[in-house]
Amino acid sequence: MKVLHFFKTYWPDTFGGVERTIHAIAQSTAAYGVETEVLSLSRTPNENTRRLDGHMARKARLDFELASTGFSLQVFRKFGELAGKADLIHYHFPWPFMDLVHFQSRHGKPSIVTYHSDIVKQRLILPFYQPLMQHFLKDVDAIVATSPNYLKSSPVLKAFEAKSTVIPIGIDENAYPAPTEADNDWCRSAVTGPFVLFVGVLRYYKGLDVLIQAANQLRCKIVIAGSGPIEQQLKLQVAKLRLDNVIFLGEITEQRKMALLYACRGFVFPSNQRSEAYGLSLVEAAMCGRAMISCEIGTGTTYVNEAGLTGLVVPPSDPARLAEAINRLVDSSEEAERWGRAARDRYASLFTADRMGKAYAALYSRLVTAAQAE
């Protein structure tokens, strides 16, 4: 079976959460006979069209971006060509321009959309986009939510519950490198004493400003690994508050990330807006058997981190409650270890890449079979 994934960005241009999810789906469905191609936009399409880990990443030229939406004239032709060869089209929402390409192509193939997030930041343009969005979601054959929490809480998905199913995003433990002794030595020298860890892109919805506000109440260090649009803003906040227990490590290798995950007292994920629909970094922490702290924002973060079982869940944007939860995790090693073991068990039962791949392959097969029977 040939499946074409379509999203605005993909490796090697960008490495965000949706891109990582597409890659994981491509890898995990291959074991079930699925041949994947991914079409995305790129400023350098010729250089970045390539084979990646057994599947093709194809590119169309990105002409311009507006309100986080990429546009391309070339993609209409490329999508039509690739859709003609595919058995099924797999869209990744949101990307308003994608809806236009879908209707213009009239490809006639079965299609699904993985619904990664409501439109949160661009609320002002949502009323103008809403008719097209509703028409698009009505037209696809199936919608996949990444957690039951998001399916229940999304005002958009409520109207499409009958055609929606839940497939949690999973990751493959074998795809992660084990830290070397040199990586562990680096970790011990970079951070001395107990610490909690955040890993991810430094974006506005991650709640890191709230975590920094909580820092002067903590009995441990905060390690922030990653870079992003608000990095300088956060560093200025730390300097203004004269904090000495917040450490920015910037971009790090996968091996060093794993060393940090295994060494930290727990993983803190203070995202405070619905733009954080799932949190793959939480799944990585669970895979490593780490206790977690996250915020209740009605999304998949509280599905990955189940309150009281795998860690603690606190109200969003509340520095005092966040500090209280972190101190409890640091002070009570017995609780932290128990939550970490439960997190590892939850990963094994719900969040493996094989489980995700099996579910998507079954959905693909059902839709293609139904289309062939018509």
pLDDT given for residue 122 in this prediction: 66
Give the fold, CATH level 3, of 173-350: Rossmann fold (3.40.50)
Q: What is the pLDDT of residue 286?
A: 98
Residue identified by tokens 């799944």 is: 283
Q: For position 123, what pLDDT does the model report?
A: 65
2-172+353-373 CATH choice from 1.10.1740.10, 3.40.50.720, 3.40.50.2000, 3.30.70.1150: 3.40.50.2000
Query: What is the dihedral sign for C-alpha 346, 296, 117, 290?
Result: negative
- Rounded Cα distance between 100 and 118, Å, is 18
Given its phi and psi angles, is residue 279 left (phi above 0), alpha (psi -120 to 50 degrees) or beta? left
DSSP bridge partners of 295: 314
User: Phi/psi at 210 (nearest 5 deg)?
Assistant: -70, -40
Q: Is 289 left (phi over 0), alpha (psi -120 to 50) or beta?
A: left
131, 152 contact by CB (below 8 A): no
Residue for token pair 């006639």? 108
The pLDDT value given to residue 159: 93
DSSP notation for 195-236? EEEEES---GGG-HHHHHHHGGG-SSEEEEE---TTHHHHHH
- Spell out, as residue ranges, where the chain has pLDDT lower than 50: none
The span from the CA of 198 to the CA of 229, in Å, is: 16
> Which residues neighbour 63 within 8 Å (Cβ) at sequence distance 6 or greater?
71, 72, 73, 74
Q: Given this model, what pLDDT does residue 67 score? A: 76
pLDDT in tens, 185-203: 999 999 999 999 999 999 9
Say yes or no: do domains 2-172+353-373 and 173-350 share a fold: yes
The domain limits of the chain are 2-172+353-373, 173-350
pTM of the entire predicted model: 0.92
* Residue 265 · residue 196 · CB < 8 Å: yes
Return the pLDDT at 281.
95
Assign 3-state DSSP to the chain and report helix, strand, coil percentages, each to 5: 50, 20, 30
